Structure 1
């Protein structure tokens, strides 16, 4: 084998790990583009405080990680290059090392797939919660106090809205819209991507769920127990389930409001199940504020 062929093969082997990871990511991005789309257009959301700074911080963090990786490669690649090239020129192929590399790359490809899938779910959930939070701003103009991401016992409450007509425990769920469902769902009432509540089930165009309903009820019960104990007055919160970007309809009466995020400002002022005095509202707001500010309250 000539020196040029050995050098070329060495460079190819050194880059194969990067090719594997980028290949898996490219395939997953292509698959997502073909099969699903986001339920919410992020460009249409109201910018929150420090939104631009948050983007800059995230970009700078990625740049910093890239610089650290580059520094590692600058030191290690020359040694890897000459060591691997020497093996190739000696015609003594390290089969044991090759097996370890193959197993390592297989594991890296699997981890990339798992991590990318998790990242997509987190991004979807984040976008959905931001969309709901944007709409809840409208309730603040009507005298409601709104809180986000309240830490509970091993879980979190996405949003909590407090007004004179009660407390609302709001759970937001992000669900991708599957492209294959577009034609099927558009047949009903001229609305695309419909979510129907029927007989205790959430009926999407091509799948059915019940767990979000159970989760919303559990979270509302937890809020009831916590606030009743913390304020010394009975509190009965109303669970609310929100699916941003979906057209929500009901074929049977739901146990609590199940809404599109844009319905929140209109529905919640008429959906409360408890009349509260201003003193009770202030007591509830105080307890929620304390929990949001201090992690020490989580153990109480």
Structure 2
């Protein structure tokens, strides 16, 4: 029984060494006294929530693989230890050689992992710097217009919010595959309530966009004390939108983002927001789309 326990512990030694090395290197990096130069309040990038979900799936898959390998190793050690008469077997040079090889492998791979940790930190700092520059340049070039991505709204998120003199637009994006080549054009009919795709119809995206716009309007009302014109928009990249009704103020607007100028920019539409109002709305919405400060 004791020998079985020893075997199982020995099997975990390389993993324990690797964990110890990573924790030691992390503690070293955390002692860095130089300060982060980025003062810009960074906002998340487009599709940030979806990327997080995708990364979580990959991480879970890797974790499950490690769990299975560990359980398999421990099971093999346990079964073998119960079927070997340890009393008749003495330790010899081969046992010591395998232990040395296991510890050496753990130190080697631990060194490789810890060697990459400063580089990973450097890349993260570089990404933050480039994002800050891009964000500040975009704000300078946008004039009175603002676009903010992946707004966290409680249990859901709003893909994009566009603020222009015309109003505030809560944009929900949906991806729908086009028909096979030769089976009709990528055209969707919209009557203000239902999307008629070739072969199927949907109403849930319209309802979702409307709910999100209402949430955003209520949020701006509570946070600023003002009433902002908030419009619901559904973006369908790659699709031609065929309206069968006249667009009204209360309708969810369905657009192909390539042809969104008619909706977002002043033209025949009235100017509803002046620059200070745009700034007040953007200030409140940007709070919901900020990148957490680095640890």
Equivalent runs, 1:27-176 vs 2, <5 Å: 65=63, 68-69=66-67, 71-72=69-70, 75-76=73-74, 78=76, 141=142, 143-176=144-177
C-alpha contact (below 8 Å) 2:192/2:245 kept by paired residues: yes
**2:293 is the alignment partner of 1:292:** no
The normalised TM-score by structure 1 is 0.49
In structure 2, do the counterparts of structure 1 residues 156 and 58 end up closer, same or farther at CA, with 3 Å as the change threshold?
Answer: closer
Give the C-alpha shift of residue 143 in structure 1.
3.8
Number of the residue aligned with 2:132? none
2:213 pairs with 200, 220, 231, which one? 220
- Indicate the SS of the match to 1:240: strand
Number of the residue aligned with 1:229? 222
C-alpha contact (below 8 Å) 2:144/2:278 kept by paired residues: no
Greater C-alpha Rg:
2
CA-to-partner distance for each residue in 1:230-284, whole Å, 9 max, x for gaps? 1122111111110112222222224243111212245311476651121111111
In structure 2, do the counterparts of structure 1 residues 138 and 176 end up closer, same or farther at CA, with 3 Å as the change threshold?
Answer: farther
Work out the number of aligned pairs and report it: 182
C-alpha contact (below 8 Å) 2:206/2:252 kept by paired residues: no
Number of the residue aligned with 2:182? 183
Number of the residue aligned with 1:209? 202
The normalised TM-score by structure 2 is 0.50
C-alpha contact (below 8 Å) 1:238/1:273 kept by paired residues: no
Aligned partners of 2:193 and 2:61: how far apart in 1? 48
**2:259 is the alignment partner of 1:263:** yes
- Indicate the SS of the match to 1:177: coil
Aligned partners of 2:245 and 2:231: how far apart in 1? 19
C-alpha contact (below 8 Å) 1:198/1:251 kept by paired residues: yes
- Indicate the SS of the match to 1:183: coil
In structure 2, do the counterparts of structure 1 residues 140 and 201 end up closer, same or farther at CA, with 3 Å as the change threshold?
Answer: farther
Give the C-alpha shift of residue 211 in structure 1.
2.0
Number of the residue aligned with 1:250? 243
Give the C-alpha shift of residue 61 in structure 1.
5.0
**2:276 is the alignment partner of 1:275:** no
Aligned partners of 1:273 and 1:248: how far apart in 2? 23
C-alpha contact (below 8 Å) 2:174/2:236 kept by paired residues: yes
Aligned partners of 1:80 and 1:176: how far apart in 2? 51
In structure 2, do the counterparts of structure 1 residues 223 and 58 end up closer, same or farther at CA, with 3 Å as the change threshold?
Answer: closer
Give the C-alpha shift of residue 290 in structure 1.
2.1
- Indicate the SS of the match to 1:230: helix
- Indicate the SS of the match to 1:234: coil
Unaligned runs of 5+ in 1: 1-47, 83-136, 186-191, 296-300
Let me know the Cα RMSD of the aligned residues. Answer: 4.0
Aligned partners of 2:67 and 2:204: how far apart in 1? 42
In structure 2, do the counterparts of structure 1 residues 267 and 138 end up closer, same or farther at CA, with 3 Å as the change threshold?
Answer: farther
